[in-house]
Amino acid sequence: MVDLPTGKMKSREGTVVDADDLMEEMVEEAAKQTRELGKIDEMTEQEVSDLAEMIGLGALKFFLLKVDPKKRMMFDPNESIQLQGHTGPFIQYTHARIKSILRKAESC
């Protein structure tokens, strides 16, 4: 069972969140935060779009998979997209940094 900060998701009361809408919201939030960081100035719009999709969907997947499926969970989209803490984007960033270090080490 998944709860949102705005309350429980209940199909009978019409408070159900469509998965497509949630995924789109996560991608949009990832794009917004990426733009605010200003590290994508040299990227094309397609590259920014692809990056936002990887970050947004990665955040959603990680947040949902880190909780035991038998337990209730509180899903906060804003918390799941953060670049600090135990989140998908933080792990993706760490992976990218490690790959960069390895590339630099190979060239030495």
Question: What are the extents of the domains in the chain?
Answer: 2-107
pLDDT digits over 89-106, tens only? 999 999 999 999 999 999
Buried b (16+ CB within 10 A) or exposed e, 12-36: eeeeeeeeeebeeebbebbbebbee
Average pLDDT over residues 6-16: 61
**Secondary structure class of 21 (helix, strand, coil):** helix
Global pTM value? 0.77
pLDDT digits over 37-88, tens only? 887 888 999 999 999 999 999 999 998 898 888 888 788 888 888 888 889 9
**Cα-based torsion angle of the residue sequence 86, 89, 94, 99 in order, rounded to the nearest 10 degrees:** 150
Q: Looking at residue 12, what is its pLDDT? A: 60
**What are the C-alpha distances in Å from 82 to residues 13, 40, 68, 74, 87?**
30, 17, 21, 15, 7
Which of 5-9, 31-35, 47-51, 60-64 is predicted least confidently?
A: 5-9
Residue 107 identity: S
Buried b (16+ CB within 10 A) or exposed e, 62-85: bbeeeeeeeeeeebebeebbeeee
Average pLDDT over residues 24-44: 89
Two structure tokens written together for 46: 């397609």
